[in-house]
Amino acid sequence: MQTDQLTLQRAIKGDEKAMRQLWLRHSPHIDAVVRRLCGDHDVAADVAQEVWIQIFRALPGYRGESQFGTWAHRIAVNRTLNALRKIKRISRLETEIEDDSAFVEGDSDRTFLAESIDEAMGKLSPGARMVFVLHDIEGYTHDEIGKELGITSGGSKSQLFKARAKLRRLLAHLVDESTAGTGMTHAASL
Amino acid sequence: MQPLSENAFDDMLTRERDRVDQPLTDWDSLSSRLRAEGLIRDPIASRFFSSSFIRIAAGLTLLIGGAAAGRASAGAPVLSLAARDAAQPQNAVPSASAAKTAAETGTLASNAAVAFRSPEEAWEVLNRAGEEYQRASAYLSERNNEVPMPASTDQYRTRLAALDNVMSEMRDAMKEAPEDPVINQYYLATVGAREATLRQLGTVLPASARMNRF
């Protein structure tokens, strides 16, 4: 997504209209990653505001080496992870990530019919959700995830494998039954 | 029930990557935070602050205010002779030659009681006045031993606290009336006085001392 230089220059100078333009254009994507990482809507709303303030604070340092959206996305991920660390969630999940037993599927999960991928992701442990979102949605490598979350690359791979398996089970009901029998499975639209 | 196939799951992820949501926050609440942090600047106020005119005007405000305070403390009339002359009706319309002299020699307008023939000429005099003010301040801060600076840090702290209160009031006033030149000038003058006080305080403090707060 191209963001014109003039808008950026005006935003750097504190022009509210330009800043609003940037926010309107990019918040749907930026806020989506915040929401996915946080899981909880209320927490995500608070974090999203901090993220945007940080983006505008850092704006004078934007050198245009990458697209604005990509640059802002990185800030969003970093800021969100920092915010979650602050509220003591990461420390808990980092323990869970190293502990395979934390990923135990309960009976309720077997009968749970997720109505959307959001709800299904909500059923993952915080650590597994982080790894899944960062890798499968945001395109981070396992090395990068390891550095961000303070875990090993192998731990990240293991969590991703389990997260995907669990999500596929939780989202099984989204397969169109009429085509499931023919092997032509597809996901229902969300 | 069979789990979702890998392919179907990947299709779903592709859609999820492209999915956009409603923003989690609204611009009104975000912009008020941005404004409070000074990241949003009112366009008029911004132009005002960035203009060299205001910086010079603030300097002159300090100069005039400082001179007035100095004269008052020394028991002299607050208005200078030149200023008094300037206030006289017969001097209200000075000659063009006086204006020319002022511009060419760089003497302050208040001393020469001149009228300006063009905005450019007024700018020139203003710029020169600002530079003179800076040079005079630097000279006085280095060599003026006649009026000893307060040795007590408490005195500076009291002054800084007072200046901060004034700045706070002025900031509030600027939110209400960002275009008001008097408020803007006084605010900038106060900022300048605060910086000067901090510099003076730095010379009074022991070399090992470091000021974190006052």
For residue B20, the distance in angstroms to the closest alpha carbon of chain A comes to 5
Sorted by where each starts, the structural domains of chain A and their CATH numbers stand as 1-87 (1.10.1740.10), 89-174 (1.10.10.10)
pLDDT per residue over A100-140, tens digit each? 444 444 444 433 433 577 888 888 888 899 999 999 998 99
Torsions phi, psi for B133 (to 5 deg): -60, -45
- Maximum alpha-carbon separation in chain B: 103
pLDDT per residue over A85-96, tens digit each? 877 655 555 555
Please state the rounded mean pLDDT for residues A23-35.
Answer: 92
Average pLDDT, chain B: 66
Identify from B6, B10, B22, B25 which residue to disrupt to test chain A contact, counting A C-beta atoms within 10 A and taking the largest count: B25
Helices A16-38 and A5-12, packing angle to 10 deg: 90
Please state the rounded mean pLDDT for residues A54-69.
Answer: 90
> Which of A32, A52, A172 lies closest to B19 in CB terms?
A32
- Residue A162 has a pLDDT of 92
Gap between the Cα atoms of A84 and A89, Å rounded:
6
Q: Is the pLDDT of residue B3 over 60?
A: yes
Please state the rounded mean pLDDT for residues A141-161.
Answer: 93
- Residue B154 has a pLDDT of 74
- Residue B94 has a pLDDT of 45
- Let me know how many helices (H) and strands (E) chain B has, helices first: 10, 0
Please state the rounded mean pLDDT for residues A41-63.
Answer: 92
Contact A190 B24 (CB under 8 A): no
- Residue A76 has a pLDDT of 95
- Residue A111 has a pLDDT of 37
Contact B23 A164 (CB under 8 A): no
Identify from B15, B19, B20, B24 which residue to disrupt to test chain A contact, counting A C-beta atoms within 10 A and taking the largest count: B24
Question: Among the listed ranges A55-59, B14-18, B106-110, B136-140, which one has the minimum average pLDDT value?
Answer: B106-110
Contact B12 A20 (CB under 8 A): no
Alpha-carbon distance values, B192 to A46, A176, B6, B179, B203 (Å): 37, 72, 67, 20, 17
